Amino acid sequence: MSRDLYVSSNGDRWLLLRDPSDGRSFVRHEANLASGGHVTDIALSVFLAADRGSPEHRALWQLIGTLVENDDAKPTALA
């Protein structure tokens, strides 16, 4: 399960993913081909602790904000 967070003008891509086997969420950075096309998975805690001013960080914070703006959302129990 994945969702695009941000695609830069140079082709770098950041995605929010959830591993269905363990429920872990993380950010994946896919570098553009000119930079080698490397893929890096980043724990949410590490990603959120990094530079909050970058566009990919703002995109994730904006997404998180939409989750708390929905007054109709019902809390779910965590096991």
Q: Provide the residue range defining the domain that includes 23.
A: 2-52
- Decide if 63 is inside a domain: no
Does any domain span residue 61?
Answer: no
At residue 69, the pLDDT reads: 76
Domain count, the chain: 1
Report phi then psi at 27, rounded to 5: -105, 135
Looking at residue 68, its pLDDT comes to 82
Dist. CA 66–CA 42, nearest whole Å:
22
Q: Report which residue type is found at 22.
A: D
Positions in the chain short of pLDDT 50: none
Could you tell me where the DSSP H helices lie in the chain?
44-49, 55-69
Cα–Cα distances (Å) from 45 to 9, 21, 22, 52, 71, in that order, read 26, 19, 16, 12, 26
What pLDDT does 4 receive?
Answer: 94
| 47 within some domain | yes
